[in-house]
Amino acid sequence: MEIHIRTNGSVTIIDLAGNLTIGKSEESLRTIVTQLIAEEKKLLLLNLADVPTIDSSGIGAMIKSFTSVKAVNGKLKVLKPSRMAHQLLTITGLLSVLETFEDEKTAISSF
* Residues near other proteins (CB under 8 A): 22, 26, 56-57, 59-61, 63-64, 66-67, 90-94, 96-97
DSSP 8-state code for residue 96: G
- Say how far apart CA 25 and CA 110 lie, in whole Å: 27
> Least distance (Å) from other proteins to the CB of residue 107?
21
> Least distance (Å) from other proteins to the CB of residue 34?
13
In single-letter form, the type of residue at position 43 comes to: L
Angle at 18 between CA 17 and CA 19, to 5 degrees: 135
> Least distance (Å) from other proteins to the CB of residue 60?
3
Query: In 1-111, where do the E strands start and end?
Result: 2-8, 11-17, 43-50, 75-79, 100-101
Helix or strand (DSSP H, E) at 89: helix 83-91
Closer to other proteins by Cβ: residue 49 or 84: 84
> Least distance (Å) from other proteins to the CB of residue 97?
6
Closer to other proteins by Cβ: residue 11 or 20: 20
Closer to other proteins by Cβ: residue 13 or 26: 26
